[in-house]
Amino acid sequence: MKTHAKISYLAGLVLLALLICLAGCAQRESSTASGSNAAQHPNILWLVIDDMGLEFSCYGEELIETPNIDRLAREGARFTNAFLTSPVCSTARSAMITGMYQTTIGAHNHQSGRGKRKIHLPGEVVPVPGLFQAAGYFTSNGDYPKKREGLGKNDYNFEWDESIYDAPYYGERGDNQRFFAQLQLWGGKNRHGQQWVEEVRPEVLENLTPPETARLPPYYPRDPLILEDWAHYLDTVQYTDQLIGQILDQLEAEGILDETVIILFGDNGISHARGKQFVYDEGIRTPLIIRGPGIEPGKVRDDLVEHIDLAATSLALAGEPVPDWMQGDDILAQDYEPKDAVFAARDRCGETVDMTRSVHTGKYKYIRNFFPDRPHLQPTNYKDTKPILIRLRELHAQGKLNALQEELLFAPKRSLEELYDIEADPYETLNLAEDPNYETVLKSLRQRLKVWMEETKDPGPESTEDYAAEMEYQIERNRRNPAAYAAVKGNVELYRRWATERPYVPLSE
């Protein structure tokens, strides 16, 4: 168990429970004639999908069908412009479970706080399950389908106590006890490994995606291996849809489907060369569907939302107060004012040093690269061992990529600033930052990003001391794999050299 001051933590939860009870009693209205306790205080179920974008039928994907997810959208609200505040799992999940920007709580470097250096949440911040637990809800977090013993994927970068979860699955709750549950679906991760290729995929899917039909973003070559990988990815989307159907069937069989708010979303986009780990839309745009009591069926919302909004929204749906410290908003509140921009941050991933920030208005997207003298595909053991990255590097070495693919994937340096007209250029291929016609937009978004970083207390790049401490863990965790161990050690040495050769460039006025 991962613990931090457990006794004082539990004592704090007791006090928090009393405060929430008092606040909740003051806020809750008596039941109406048509209302019920279930409607006022429903179960909350998060369906969190790994490594998956918007490739569902209800979002416009035409090569496959996703009838169960389409049902959720038909019976609930579908959000077309939902974004993650980080494009990689541990930082996105640290933000998700607190309703806070990962940069504000110091959890912005991927898989940090795992070694000798620990990260502690600011004193007032409590993970969302703790808030629900203090309010009397049964809390759970499990993989679906079950793939390991104990709790499902959490991957938080800060110190936390596993007691905030009562069990892995909500079925272990008491009679008539309301629950806040998470089911973690492996999503796009399912496509990795021979078992998926040889057993799971042909066994569970009637219609396998033909690789030649795959439609790739223009910056990926139509190479047989790349096409096959994308086809496998689409098949994991179909498989995920089947799992969603099983979950809905189970809730219906238990008679609690209409007492449960279901919130479906992802933790980062597809794991690819411009998706996962990057703040392009392929990495941060996420599906978001909310179905349950009080949710208007068939509603489609095009306004900008962030995944940290789901903590506040879930508490409000359950009739519980939203803490003042929480940065996310209740996006279903009657007085909710839509955002005019959303923000994202990418920092160190594994051994790879980086810092990018973005502001997205729906029309325009501004990205700031704080280490511009480093390539887009910087060395990283995690991604460099994936067949698609190996193949892309081979095609690059053989001169078989077109000019756009070379520029976006293998340019030796990146632009300090990137600006895209998302409506005209949804794949973010034409950088308008140096176009004088967009100078006003560029300056405005640059300033907007600067203000956001200041207001949210962005800590900036990781110090050399913290990097050294974190790399002890990164190197040690690969000791049993000689190839990975050597690769990570070599990458760490490279980034130590680059610290002076290719330095951090601060945000100017």
**pLDDT single digits (tens) 219-259:** 999 999 999 999 999 999 999 999 999 999 999 999 999 99
- In our burial notation (b when 16+ CB lie closer than 10 A, e otherwise), range 430-443 reads ebbbeeeebeebbe
What is the Cα–Cα distance from 49 to 266, expressed in whole angstroms? 4
- pLDDT (average), residues 10-26: 40
Neighbours of 121 (CB within 10 A): 19
Please count the other Cβ atoms lying within 10 Å of the Cβ belonging to residue 422. 17
- Sequence-distant (≥ 6) Cβ neighbours of residue 165 within 8 angstroms: 129, 139, 140, 141, 151
Q: Report the 3 state secondary structure along 429-473.
A: CCCCCCCHHHHHHHHHHHHHHHHHHHHCCCCCCCCHHHHHHHHHH
Closest CA relative to residue 180, chosen from 312, 323, 47, 43:
43
Residue that the structure tokens 């034409």 belong to: 430
Q: Which domains are assigned to the chain?
A: 6-20+38-336 (3.40.720.10), 345-501 (3.30.1120.10)
pLDDT at position 348 over 50: yes
Asked if residue 221 lies in contact with residue 401, where contact means CB atoms within 8 angstroms, the answer is yes
Which tens digits make up the pLDDT trace of 417-457? 999 999 999 999 999 999 999 999 999 999 999 999 999 99
Contact 305, 339 (CB under 8 A): yes
Residues β-bridged to residue 305? 82
Of 95, 63, 479, 462, the C-alpha closest to 232 is 63
| pLDDT surpassing 60 at residue 90 | yes
- Joined tokens for residue 151: 């709790």
Query: Which tokens hold the place of 274?
Result: 């411009």
What is d(CA 153, CA 312) in angstroms, rounded to the nearest whole number?
A: 21
Range from 36-40, 100-104, 247-251, 380-384 carrying the lowest mean pLDDT: 36-40
Cα dihedral: 92, 188, 291, 154 (round 10): -40
DSSP E strand stretches across 307-375:
342-346, 356-360, 364-369
pLDDT bin (cut points 50, 70, 90) of residue 22 is very low
> Contact, 110 vs 138, CB < 8 A?
no
Indicate the pLDDT class of residue 197, thresholds 50, 70 and 90.
Answer: confident
- Give the number of other Cβ atoms within 10 Å of residue 334's Cβ: 5
